[in-house]
């Protein structure tokens, strides 16, 4: 065991915030391609139904800022901040997709375009979660800060 691995075993918190290699930056780009249209549609619905202004929608940009920061300075902490809500969102989407497909009458008979669009969004979000899992920062990829 070299000195750097020993250092992270003694201080596990440091392992969460130390810079890793940029090998998984493509996964954050894919995640942004899925998240931005979803957030944009959600903001439109929020504004249409509750009259929310621009300031009420600024929190939707926090994950975008974290994803860009992860592309520049990847850490495990940033990865966890992105992956946990994304997996939860994908799981809820899968639940509703299955529920809508199995209810009587199925949603696809009443609203085929909504069912197809929902399926595309859920599939894209699941794919981006899988990409984030494969592109996660690893301890062996630790780079020294310049």
Res 59: pLDDT: 85
In a domain, 2, yes or no: no
Q: Does residue 29 fall inside a structural domain? A: yes
Containing structural domain, residue 31: 7-141
In a domain, 22, yes or no: yes
Residue 84, domain member (yes or no): yes
Predicted pLDDT at 8: 55
- pLDDT tens-place values along the chain, 146 residues long: 555 555 556 566 777 777 777 778 899 999 999 999 888 887 777 676 677 677 777 888 899 999 999 999 888 888 999 999 999 999 998 998 888 888 888 777 778 887 888 889 899 999 999 999 998 887 655 555 54
Query: How many domains does the structure of the chain reveal?
Result: 1
Predicted model pTM: 0.76
CA–CA dist 98, 84 (Å, integer): 21
Q: Is residue 1 part of a domain?
A: no
State the pLDDT at residue 29. 92
Question: Can you tell me the distance from the alpha carbon of 80 to that of 69, in angstroms, rounded to the nearest whole number?
Answer: 13
Closest CA to 76 of 146, 30, 8, 7: 8
Question: Residue 146: its pLDDT value, please?
Answer: 45
Residue 146 lies in a domain: no
Question: What is the pLDDT, as a whole number, of residue 95?
Answer: 93
Please give the Cα distance from 90 to 53 (Å, whole number).
Answer: 27
């Amino acid at each position: 065991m070299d000195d750097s691995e020993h250092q992270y075993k003694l201080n596990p918190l440091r392992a969460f915030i130390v810079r890793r290699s940029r090998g998984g930056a493509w996964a954050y780009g894919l995640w942004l391609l899925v998240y931005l249209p979803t957030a944009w549609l959600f903001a439109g619905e929020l504004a249409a139904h509750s009259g929310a202004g621009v300031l009420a929608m600024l929190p939707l940009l926090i994950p975008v800022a974290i994803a860009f920061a992860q592309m520049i300075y990847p850490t495990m902490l940033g990865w966890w901040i992105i992956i946990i809500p994304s997996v939860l969102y994908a799981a809820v989407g899968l639940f509703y997709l299955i529920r809508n497909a199995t209810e009587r009458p199925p949603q696809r008979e009443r609203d085929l375009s909504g069912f197809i669009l929902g399926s595309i969004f859920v599939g894209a979000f699941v794919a981006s979660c899988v990409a984030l899992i494969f592109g996660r920062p690893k301890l062996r990829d630790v780079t020294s800060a310049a």
